[in-house]
Amino acid sequence: RPRSLSGIQATSDSLHLGNYIGALQQFVEQQETHDAFFFIANMHAITVEQDPVELRERTLRTAAQFIASGLDPEKSTIFIQSHVPQTTQLGWVLECTASLGEAQRMTQFKDKAAKNEHISLGLLTYPALMAADILLYQANVVPVGEDQRQHLELTRNLAGRFNQRYGQTFTVPEPGILKQTAKIYDLQDPGAKMSKSAANPAGRIDVLDEPKALTKKFKSAVTDNDTVIAYDPETKPGVSNLLTIYSSFSGEPIESIVAQFEGKMYGHLKVALAELAVESLTPVRERTHELLDDPAELERILHAGADRAEAIARRTIEDVYARVGFLSR
Ligand code: AQP
């Protein structure tokens, strides 16, 4: 089986619909067809300042949401990034493989550097650590949203560069980006991606939102002055985003949703979408809270995952260290 690997940062109490549709739902599908590895990125999280108590709590909450969304610990290896020390070992080697210019060109670095007063060095070198996450496990495919395409391209370049210099060491991974759901947009600002750090929380649907809050956000989603329900991301970004989300929950193609709502008002679509989202997300929310009520079981799953992940990571780092010329102890 080809290996699939991806991660999500532990930077919020709840994942949002962008994470859920753009990433997590793909993870759930891939565990059926791939040798699947999914981790909670707590090391990436500290590239910007985090409160330690919150980070611990959010790490477990993110793990619980993985499982509640359908990741099965029997099928997927679920682990915490910092539990595999080889991540930073390879991260360093890859920092020395990448160039400063490459890191500075990353649009996520530029965006986040503009938003934060204190720009940590880790924010700049983050893509090398992300490359380490992926290359450690010799992943074939990395399911992510569109916003991660540039980082993945850098990972591929670093793998190729290392292989060329030291001989075949790393699998060069393919991005697993699904066209239609690759980018879920902010409900209040459909020109921007839905994001944890958006200024207006009304534009973000959280997986753990209570039904009332969730319905209110969908009802107040920004659309346009037109009244026709049609899919056209260029001229009707708000409505198109709602249709994408609808399609991802209902599993129907967008054309058939458009046909169902022919002649209806935006309000109808919003109410139907809110109902669908409540129906889909309620079991995820309830299961997440159940899992969090039993942290011992969650921790057992995460430890078993770390053991499996580390066994593979150890083999890769031994090979890498030997190739770059580090003497073994
Ligand atoms: N809006 C989105 N649409 C589709 N996919 C998305 N992803 C994130 N936002 C969207 C995908 O979710 C996965 C987890 O990414 P992450 O842990 O890097 O999350 P993030 O980038 O911290 O989430 P945000 O909300 O984007 O955070 P900020 O506000 O800090 O930038 C990835 O696969 C990502 O592509």
User: pTM to 2 decimals?
Assistant: 0.95
Does 184 count as an annotated binding residue?
yes
**pLDDT of the residue at 178:** 77
**pLDDT of the residue at 179:** 73
d(Cα 301, Cα 303) in Å, to the nearest integer?
Answer: 6
User: Which atom of ligand 1 is the closest one to the Cα of 48?
Assistant: 30
**pLDDT of the residue at 177:** 85
Q: Name which of 244, 209, 216 is nearest 65 in CA terms.
A: 209
Model confidence band, residue 27 (pLDDT cutoffs 50, 70, 90): very high
CA distances from residue 152 to 16, 86, 129, 284, 324 in whole angstroms, order as listed: 22, 20, 12, 29, 23
**pLDDT of the residue at 329:** 87
The amino acid occupying position 222 is V
User: Which atom of ligand 1 is the closest one to the Cα of 182?
Assistant: 4
Instruction: Please state, for a pLDDT cut of 70, what percent of the chain lies above it.
Output: 100
230-267 per-position pLDDT tens digit: 999 999 999 999 999 999 999 999 999 999 999 999 99
CA of 326 to the centre of ligand 1 (A): 36
Q: Is the model's pLDDT at 181 over the cut of 80?
A: no
Q: Could you give phi then psi for residue 264, rounded to 5 degrees?
A: -95, 170
Span 146-164, average pLDDT: 96
**pLDDT of the residue at 161:** 98
Q: Name which of 30, 34, 99, 92 is nearest 66 in CA terms.
A: 30
d(Cα 185, Cα 233) in Å, to the nearest integer?
Answer: 10
User: Tokens 């430890």 identify what position?
Assistant: 303
Write the DSSP symbol of residue 265: -
Does 236 count as an annotated binding residue?
no
User: Which atom of ligand 1 is the closest one to the Cα of 144?
Assistant: 33
Span 201-211, average pLDDT: 96
Q: Provide the 3-class DSSP secondary structure of residue 75.
A: coil
Tokens of residue 44, six digits: 């990436």
Span 279-293, average pLDDT: 97
72-127 per-position pLDDT tens digit: 999 999 999 999 999 999 999 999 999 999 999 999 999 999 988 899 999 999 99
CA of 145 to the centre of ligand 1 (A): 7
d(Cα 5, Cα 132) in Å, to the nearest integer?
Answer: 12
CA distances from residue 19 to 22, 110, 308 in whole angstroms, order as listed: 5, 21, 25
Q: Could you give phi then psi for residue 265, rounded to 5 degrees?
A: -95, 165
**pLDDT of the residue at 62:** 98
**pLDDT of the residue at 153:** 97
CA of 62 to the centre of ligand 1 (A): 13
CA of 16 to the centre of ligand 1 (A): 8
Beta-strand ranges (E) seen in the chain are 3-9, 35-41, 76-80, 141-143, 174-176
Active site residues: 112, 193, 196
Q: Could you give phi then psi for residue 318, rounded to 5 degrees?
A: -60, -45
Mean pLDDT for all residues in the chain: 96
Q: Give, to the nearest 10 degrees, the angle between helix 107-115 and helix 121-135.
A: 140
d(Cα 280, Cα 250) in Å, to the nearest integer?
Answer: 9
| Ligand 1 binding pocket mutation candidate from 19, 26, 141, 142 (most atoms within 8 A of CB) | 19
Name residues contacting ligand 1 (CB within 6 A).
8-9, 11, 18-19, 22-23, 41, 144-145, 147-148, 182-184, 193-197
